[in-house]
Chain A
Amino acid sequence: MTTVTEQPNARTSSSSGGPGDRPTVSGGSGRGSGGGAAWLRRAPLLPALLFTIVMTQLPFLATLVISFMHYQAYAPDSHGFAGFSNFKAVFQSADLRSSALTTVYLTVTVVLVSLVLGMGIALLLNRSFFGRGIVRTMIITPFLVVPVAAALFFKHGIFNPSSGLINGVISWVWGLFGDTTPPAPDWLSQFPLLSVELQLIWQWTPFMTLILLAGLQSRSHDVLEAAAVDGAGPWRTFASITLPHMRQYLELAGLLGSIYVVQNFDSVFTITSGSLGTANLPYTVYTTVFNAQDYGLASAQGVIVVIASIGIATLALRTVFSLFQPEGAR
């Protein structure tokens, strides 16, 4: 099956249509042939495709055009063609370089830590214990809090140096030992990026956990049983059966997590307002549009971010697509 669907040019392979077989162009029903039938097949796809093209590609086309313009909204008299000057400004800007680095750092840290934590929690949840359903619900909860609500509360209710929960717990624990001068670190100033990461890890670990848990539960029980019968220890089983099996789930969770974390705006905007080196690319582009009102420069930033994304996405898409192949053959 996989071989058939992977061949885009399957006109020749229009086959008998056995179970599981999905010919790509006019199948066994024999209703018409040639262009008309092909368009009939495409018809259900077209609304969604056209809608997506109009809503996602046209704006980027506009971005591309604006990126070659002097378009500073504060100076309405001096709009005009700018050549590559916006792009030059982008590449010369140390702030943009550092926000690109921040984006990479933020995304990689959040996704990796969430994956590791998610894997650990998924292994725990995969065992039976009292109240497993409740614990699972508790783990999912962070993902179901509106992100800006979570970010707001983390900023003011968790990280706040005087009334936040973390320092409150510290002073309570210290108080137990009779220490009246507990340390009260100022999380947002001393560890600004870590604070943003903590909030995001808290929010995204449930996501990883859910996917990985589903992966664990889809392990073949025959294989596991055979391993047990053969006397394989827990580590051996984990390393040679569980991990290989989980690889595609880890990749899937990592990829999907990256898609969302790399775009994160809410947390950076809410928790630190991009200060102290936490500005990521979405936040930087946002401030160039809304604070500096320099539409030309913002568009040039956007274009460069898009080009970089396409490069990374092409690699990532190959990975994710391989994940969906076996499922098509079921």
Chain B
Amino acid sequence: MTTTDPATTNDAPVTRPTATRRPRRRPRGSAITGLAAWAVGFTFVLPVLWMALTSLHTEADAGAGRPQVFASLTFANYSDFFSGGGADPWPPIINSATAAILSTLLVLVLAVPAAYALSVKPIEKWTDVMFFFLSTKMLPMVAGLLPVYLIAQKTGLLDNITFLILIYTAMNLPIAVWMMRSFLAEIPPALFEAAEIDGAGLVTILRKIVVPLSAPGMAATALICFIFSWNELLFAKSLTGTVAGTAPVFLTSFVTSQGLFLAQVSAAAIVVSLPVLIAGFAAQDKLVQGLSLGAVK
């Protein structure tokens, strides 16, 4: 059993011919590998499982001195969350969805043409532009927090979801440009040339060639932008109030200064994380492309 054993690497088409040369049976180390991998996987997922289990317990069981694995289960924390007479969780959830989805769309609308100008028909000094985009990601967001707050306050845009959408668009646009550029570079140039010979304009090219051919890339970009916008806390908590507060901000209000709250927080944390969990599980391969800015296909 070696790391190089082709039978254990996963890309089936390539490994097939070698399979005849080497024995087909599972290598000895496989059981140990599997066991180790399962152990590691379980360790990583354990806090989330524990969170889910805690959310189904009563506060008394959740706060007990010793973990109560077999305590009786209840959905009370969830029904309390949605209709407990406290704050209504739907406005913040809708705000989060609005901010995440609309900023993601805006990012795509801006990033795809930009990537076109940086990749398909690159302008001069396109490398500098790429540098510029990525360098904005390295600037600490917190340093921009104060001026952004003051600007929003002076222009009456505090507590306004539209302003949050613009912030999130700016936050994700550099990543999206990088990703889309590397996806567009994959499209065979001959296609663009043919289209230009047919007299297609920029809009037509974007619509007929770029968008359909880079759809998987756009989906990956959208997923990442969605996740980062949904998760954002610092700007949301500083710039919003009674109207435009988002789900992560709402979540922080569950830590009360009195009494037990762990089970409630767990239920709220699960609900708030659910959209990201579903999106991420459904598109694991996109996650890889997205996280590596498109460098890893």
Contact = CB atoms under 8 A, between A and B. Distances in A.
Interface in B255-297: 255, 261-262, 265-266, 268-270, 272-273, 276-277, 279-281, 284, 287-288, 291-293, 295-297
B156 interface: no
Contact of A128 (B30, B139, B265): B30
A129 B8 CA distance: 9
Nearest to B120: A22
A127 B10 CA distance: 7
B44 interface: yes
A153 B270 CA distance: 10
Given A56-B139, A162-B65, A163-B64, A149 B126 contact: no
The main secondary structure of chain B at its interface with chain A is helix
Contacts of B65: 162-163
B118 interface: yes
A7 to B, nearest CB: 9
A281 B140 contact: yes
Interface in A315-330: 316-317, 320-321, 323-324, 327-328, 330
A85 interface: no
Interface residues of B, number: 131
10 contacts: A40-B202, A49-B114, A55-B169, A136-B284, A137-B281, A202-B47, A234-B4, A242-B3, A309-B138, A309-B140
A215 B292 CA distance: 11
B209 interface: no
A51 B169 contact: yes
A263 B136 CA distance: 12
B255 A152 contact: yes
A188 interface: no
B81 interface: no
Contacts of A169: 67
A11 B122 CA distance: 11
Interface stretch (B34-42, B71-79, B211-219): B34-42
Contact of B151 (A59, A121, A144, A205): A59
Contacts of B125: 8
A221 B146 contact: no
A268 B140 CA distance: 15
With a 10 A CB-CB cut-off, give which of A28, A66, A125, A128 has the most chain B CB atoms: A128
The majority secondary structure among interface residues of chain A is helix
Interface of A: 5-6, 8-11, 17, 19-22, 24-25, 27-29, 31, 38, 40-45, 47-49, 51-52, 55-56, 58-60, 62-63, 66, 121, 123-132, 134-150, 152-154, 156-158, 162-163, 165, 168-169, 171-172, 202, 205-207, 210-211, 213-215, 217-219, 221, 224-225, 227-228, 232-234, 237-238, 241-242, 249, 252-253, 256, 259, 262-263, 265-266, 269-270, 281-282, 285-286, 289-290, 295, 298-299, 301-303, 305-306, 309-310, 312-314, 316-317, 320-321, 323-324, 327-328, 330
A130 B248 CA distance: 37
A146 B170 contact: no
